[in-house]
């Protein structure tokens, strides 16, 4: 038997960013575990309203986009746990398993100087000091000690990939309004 969830339907905000998924119930009082897409889940903690969409796979316990009002979200060991309005027992929490979590980009905490959210860097053009286009940021990858920009570009009609460490030794400037990153890097590195 699959429990269905009764949460208010909502329109996904235009600036919504997927920040995680609900993994499973946690305890018996409606708490649930969250798998954050970020190693630093400040956006999950800052947003008091999450927008959920059902998992692509498995049983669907709700359809479309629904609104989840967060009572509390916190770090617990190596995961995030949360508790929401209307989710008051283990069965209700289990019914959310696999749901995708979105929050508006506008609700992310402010960044400090020289600090960026990965989502803001995706799609930026990357050029070197000489103005040579090196590609566009497709994704970022954490390699442990540093983050790496993964750029996509085309050469001889074929899609190529270039990686540049996202560290001050190589990154001169990130200009979000101009959607451009300037680096000390050459195309043949």
- pLDDT, one tens digit per residue, over 54-84 is 988 877 788 899 999 999 999 998 889 999 9
Collapsed DSSP state (helix, strand, coil) of residue 93:
helix
Q: Give the pairing type, strands 171-175 and 158-165.
A: unpaired
CB-CB contact of 89 with 28 (8 Å)? yes
Q: How confident is the model at residue 130 (pLDDT cuts 50, 70, 90)?
A: very high
pLDDT of 158 over the 90 cut:
yes
Helix, strand and coil in the chain, % to nearest 5: 10, 45, 45
Mean pLDDT across the chain, nearest whole number? 91
Q: H/E element holding 92? A: helix 90-94
Q: Please, which residues bridge with residue 21 across strands?
A: 35, 100
CB-CB contact of 73 with 63 (8 Å)? no
CA distances (Å), origin 84, targets 46, 51, 89 = 14, 12, 11
Q: How confident is the model at residue 126 (pLDDT cuts 50, 70, 90)?
A: very high
Q: How confident is the model at residue 2 (pLDDT cuts 50, 70, 90)?
A: low
Determine if the pTM surpasses 0.85.
Answer: no
pLDDT of 47 over the 70 cut:
yes
What percentage of the chain reaches a pLDDT higher than 70?
A: 97
CB-CB contact of 50 with 26 (8 Å)? no
CATH H superfamily, domain 118-183: PRC-barrel domain (2.30.30.240)
Supply 127's token pair.
């050029």
- pLDDT, one tens digit per residue, over 97-116 is 999 999 999 888 888 888 88
* Cβ neighbour number for residue 20 with a 10 Å cutoff: 21
Q: H/E element holding 171? A: strand 171-175
Domain 16-107: state its class.
Answer: mainly beta
Torsion angle of C-alpha atoms 158, 176, 141, 137, degrees rounded to 10: 0
For the chain, domain boundaries = 16-107, 118-183
Most confident of 3-17, 30-44, 67-81: 67-81
């Amino acid at each position: 038997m699959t429990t269905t969830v009764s949460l208010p339907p909502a329109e996904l905000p235009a600036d919504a960013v997927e920040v995680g998924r609900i993994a499973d119930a946690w305890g018996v009082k409606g708490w649930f575990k969250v798998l954050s897409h970020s190693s630093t889940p400040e956006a999950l903690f800052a947003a008091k309203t999450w927008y959920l969409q059902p998992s692509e796979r498995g049983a669907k316990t709700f359809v479309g986009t629904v609104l989840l009002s967060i009572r509390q979200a916190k770090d617990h060991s190596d995961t995030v746990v949360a508790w929401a309005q209307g989710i008051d027992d283990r069965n209700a929490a289990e019914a959310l398993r696999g749901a995708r979590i979105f929050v508006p980009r506008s609700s992310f905490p402010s960044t400090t100087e020289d600090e960026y959210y990965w989502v803001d860097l995706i799609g930026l053009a990357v050029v070197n000091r000489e103005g040579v286009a090196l590609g566009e940021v497709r994704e970022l990858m954490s390699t442990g000690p540093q983050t790496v920009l993964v750029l996509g570009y085309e050469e001889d009609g074929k899609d190529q990939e270039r990686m540049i460490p996202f560290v001050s030794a190589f990154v001169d400037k990130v200009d979000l309004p101009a959607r451009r990153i300037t680096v000390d890097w050459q195309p043949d590195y």
